[in-house]
Structure formats: structure tokens, C-alpha cells
Amino acid sequence: MREIKLLMDGITLGECPRWHDGRLWFSDWGARQLIAVDMDGRHEVIDSFDVMPFSFDWQPDGRQLIIAGKTLWRRDKNGVRERWVDLSSYGETGWNEIVCDGRGNVYVNTINFDFPGGAFKPGHVALVTQAGEIEIVARDIAFPNGMAVTRDNRTLIVGESFTKTLSAFDIAADGRLSNRRVWATLTGGPDGITLDAEDCVWSSAFEKAVRVKAGGEVLEEIPLDRFCFATMLGGDDGRTLFMVCNEWTGTTANLGKTGRIYWTRVESPRAGWPG
């Protein structure tokens, strides 16, 4: 049985973990803060956004992109950020998740309805090119959540929380998506996902993290003491699995500081490691 260790607690609503420059960066949606924490638990507030949700990723050139509400920001290595792309015409309710591929294309998704409490509508995925041009490239996604791009930049995997599936799309040379298919079906709705070097996905799945391969075979399950919202591989050798967890009652009202980040060691490193 794996040893599960606590990295940080007292988080309001943790989401969107990313390993970068020797630290785990994540969004605390409840506190409206972008935070980085090292393996000794020392953490730093990097930036603040008066909006929820907000998510982020890095482009190949090291520039950080952040979607906050209906705006896509660019943040340079000195911490200076600027508004880059207005997304409001393509999603009325804000944007949930972001991932960059190795060619500089940016994918963002929106659930496309007010959650929690609003009537369900299918969401979509948009492509933002390096020139800042926007195009909807996938529709009818049942609560799109975490996304990952394979090492060869040819496949985008999207978690559909409401159907408990991971869906895959072929990525064309221009970044557009086609050939939608079910990559795997899970027992719990996926949220944040991460790919390992064996092309398997670590995904949140309610109160556990699961490792699954294409076709749906579950290779491992890690039970947790609260909802797992996202996973991320990182650490010095890419073999540390981080699990961002929160107590979840189905509403964002009256959030307490019940969020935690756990970690454990795994055999297969992050896809594309080092990098």
C-alpha cells in the first residue's frame, strides 16, 4: 500500500496543480490566490484574482498563461501580467481549465452554465492560437474539466465529469480537433488529470485518484479522505504524484479551509520528463 503524505493544508478550494521550477503551483479558488509550495510545505502567494474560477498553464517559452473569469492573461517571468485575449464572446459563464501543447497552441474549456444551481448545458473547448485568435473546436462536452496533451502533440484528452469519461481528440497541425472518441470510462467523474510516460492518465475520481490506460483498464486506485479535485506529476524526477483534495458539499457557499494537498511516489514519471 502506498504511503500518502500531506504537503499542505488550510486551503479553501484547491484546483489546477502544475509543477514548475521546483515547486507545485496551484489555484486556491476560494481564497482567489495563485500559490506555489515547495516539498517542505513552504508556500508563497504568487498572485491574486478577484474571480472564480481561474486556472493556468505554461507555454513552451516559459510564459505563464492564466484564465480568470472571461479573460486570458499573459504573465512574464518577472511577474508582470497583461490582458491578452477577451474570451467573453465564446463563453458567458467563464472558463474552467487550460492546457498548452508543445507548439504553443492553447486549449481552454467552459462548462457553459452556472454551477452549482444552474440548469445544465453542454460545454465546449476553444483553441487560442499564438496570434490570439479564438475558435471553438469541440462542442457538447458534459462538464469539461481537466485536459492533457500527449507527448507527440497529436492527442488532446478531456475529462467529462458528468459522464465519468475521458474523451480524446486528434489534434491537427493547425490545432483543430477531430475524431472524438471515448478514451476511458471511470467510476467517478474526472477532474484534473495528468499523463505519465507510459501514456496512462492519473485522474481524480471522487474520493480517490486512479491511474487508467486507454480503453479504460484501471491500473491503480488511491483512496483519499476527501474529494480529489486534481492530480499532477512532478518532483525532481517526475515521479511524485500530487493530489489536490477538498471537502465538497456540492456548493461553493460557506467554504471552510478543508483543502489539502497530498503526495506519494509512483513508478512512471510525468510524460515528457524532464521538462
pLDDT value of position 77: 84
Quick check: 99 pLDDT over 80?
Answer: yes
Domains of the chain, start order: 5-265 (2.120.10.30)
pLDDT value of position 170: 98
**% pLDDT > 70, the chain:** 97
Quick check: 274 pLDDT over 70?
Answer: no
Quick check: 250 pLDDT over 90?
Answer: no
**What is the band of 113 on the pLDDT scale with cuts at 50, 70, 90?**
confident
In whole numbers, what is the pLDDT of the chain averaged over residues?
93
pLDDT value of position 117: 74
**What is the band of 168 on the pLDDT scale with cuts at 50, 70, 90?**
very high
3-state secondary structure the chain: CCCCEEEEEEECCEEEEEEECCEEEEEECCCCEEEEECCCCCEEEEEECCCCCEEEEECCCCCEEEEECCEEEEECCCCCEEEEEECCCCCCCCCCEEEECCCCCEEEEECCCCCCCCCCCCEEEEEECCCCCEEEEEEEECCEEEEEECCCCCEEEEEECCCCEEEEEEECCCCCEEEEEEEEECCCCCCCEEEECCCCEEEECCCEEEEECCCCCEEEEEECCCEEEEEEEECCCCCEEEEEEECCCCCCCCCCCCEEEEEEECCCCECCCCC
pLDDT tens figures, 172-190: 999 999 999 999 999 999 9
pLDDT value of position 253: 63
The pTM is what? 0.95
Over range 207-216, report the average pLDDT: 97
**% pLDDT > 90, the chain:** 84
Quick check: 154 pLDDT over 70?
Answer: yes
**What is the band of 252 on the pLDDT scale with cuts at 50, 70, 90?**
low
pLDDT tens figures, 35-54: 999 999 999 999 999 988 99
More confident residue, 1 or 13: 13
**What is the band of 112 on the pLDDT scale with cuts at 50, 70, 90?**
confident
pLDDT value of position 2: 85
pLDDT value of position 36: 98
